[in-house]
Amino acid sequence: MIRRLVILSCLFLFVSAAVAQEKYKEQIQFKDLSIERLGDKVGVAVNVDVSQLMLGRDHAVIITPIIRSNQTGDAYEMKSLLVNGSRKQKFYDRAVVTGDLKSFGVPKDLIAVKRVNNSEQQISYYERAPLQGWMEDASLEVKETVIGCASCGILTDILLLKDHLFPMYIEPKYELTYIVPEAETIKRRTERFSASFGYVVNRTELRADFGDNAKEFARVDKLVKDLKDDKNITVTDIVIDGYASPEGGYKHNVYLSKGRAESFASYLTGAHALDKKMFVVNWHSEDWDGLKRAVEASSFDNKEEILAIINSNVEPDPREAKLKKLKVYTTLLRDIYPSLRRNDCAIGYTVRAFNLKEARSIIKVKPQQLSLNEMYLVAQSYGVDTPEFREVFDVAVRMFPQESVAIINASAADIESGNVQVALNRLVKINENPKAWNNLGVAYARERDWASAKKYLNRAIAQGDASARHNLEEVNKQEAQEAKGIRKN
């Protein structure tokens, strides 16, 4: 019976203390909360209103503001405020004098006040804490601890004062422009290559046993065979353009470029069973343009002198005579002229249409066989947030570098993946295309170039672009919040 009474007594004390704690919590109010950045510090100011607090004379409430990360386990406890009951204050004063705050159960560094029940009483609290990176996304809470119940220990409660220490950066939600490319009715493609063979002087016949011709024949045969054996394509036409170097007389070089182009065409028809009707053979005599490009790319000391001769309005033979007088002429003969004697070949073909499954495979090995529309469908099949989505649009713009649709779609994917400068580099090439203006506006907004962003978005809005109108509102919001110092971490 006695044991039961002891248990019931302890239970009563615990419940009483818990009720007291809940009551105290309701009787304490926090007003006029202010949080500010102060260089490398954060200042917290709040008025703690205890006017309604009816504090037991032997009780005390410890109020401790805590800055706590919303993302990690980081936390920082600020200086505590101790509110003492009437008799508890006396014990506290004695502990301060004797230096025995440890036995009192509170830290040395705190703010202590005595509560006078039934009176208006506000305590102005202001403290600073070192500003740390994790505090950019942190909350402010207070820990209220009731002490003074010897039988029931210490009772603690947590109250959230502010869920974000600083105003949160609101990420703008921009709408990017993706364009569905038109399907190609007939996919026409061209495979281009140059063939440089050695010839017996003043002759036009192709010989596999002459010089390094065997290697060049093997290379050409593989290129042509790969096209012919590809079941997805149909060869439709072959155009050959023959060129000679400026060495020798112009009229003779016309003869050589013509004869060598025709002999190359004859070889292809025979070796690969190609219809002669597919061929168009052109000849251009001396390749002065190719010589000019080679000299411009060279490191010759007298490059300008050579180019002046090449660019002169003199007939070809007198021009070559001037080149012969230069010390560098032997170098031209040895290092540059051989590459000018060549046949450029363009093999035209059509490609069949692919379903999605086929297209997803083809893009990895022969992306040139896909249309922009097929690539777009492949990208969509992967989903916007996947690396494959962005890769497909990057491939598309490499295959179709002059197509504005490819550029616009690739730029949108770049912006979504954070490669804003890459997107701008693409878009500035077509900055007069109205369909590119929305993405240009978003790209400049991402770079915080508000003036340029608004310029292009307003131009797009004038064209009736609803996404641009939405994006302009987002730009204004983002500019406003960043003007207040609210920026993304």
Q: What is the pLDDT of residues 438-458, one digit of tens each?
A: 999 999 999 999 999 999 999
pLDDT-based confidence at 101, cuts 50/70/90? confident
Average pLDDT over every residue of 257-285: 96
User: What integer pLDDT is reported at residue 22 of this predicted model?
Assistant: 62
- Mark residue 30 as left, alpha or beta (left: phi above 0; alpha: psi -120 to 50; beta: remaining): beta
User: What integer pLDDT is reported at residue 430 of this predicted model?
Assistant: 97
Average pLDDT over every residue of 274-294: 95
Average pLDDT over every residue of 15-37: 77
User: What integer pLDDT is reported at residue 202 of this predicted model?
Assistant: 87
Q: For residue 216, how far is the Cα from the chain centroid?
A: 43
d(CA 359, CA 469): 36
Average pLDDT over every residue of 102-129: 91
Closest to 285 (Cα-Cα) out of 264, 312, 256: 256
pLDDT > 80? residue 480: yes
Share of residues in the chain with pLDDT > 70 (%): 94
Inter-residue contact 84 to 60 (CB < 8 Å): yes
Q: What is the pLDDT of residues 272-282, one digit of tens each?
A: 999 999 999 99
3-state secondary structure of 280: strand
Domains of the chain and any CATH numbers: 25-162 (2.60.40), 187-347 (3.30.1330.60), 371-483 (1.25.40.10)
How many CB atoms lie under 10 A from the CB of residue 362?
19
Q: What is the pLDDT of residues 294-310, one digit of tens each?
A: 999 999 999 999 999 99
d(CA 195, CA 213): 10
Please, is 479 exposed, middle or buried when counting C-beta atoms within 10 Å of its C-beta (0-12, 13-18, 19+)? middle
pLDDT > 50? residue 186: yes
3-state secondary structure of 458: helix
Average pLDDT over every residue of 312-339: 94
What Cα–Cα distance (Å) separates residue 230 from each residue in 192, 449, 461?
Answer: 16, 50, 47
Q: What is the pLDDT of residues 344-366, one digit of tens each?
A: 999 999 999 999 999 999 999 99
Please, is 475 exposed, middle or buried when counting C-beta atoms within 10 Å of its C-beta (0-12, 13-18, 19+)? buried
Which tokens hold the place of 112?
A: 């202590």
Higher pLDDT, 120 or 201: 120
pLDDT > 50? residue 148: yes
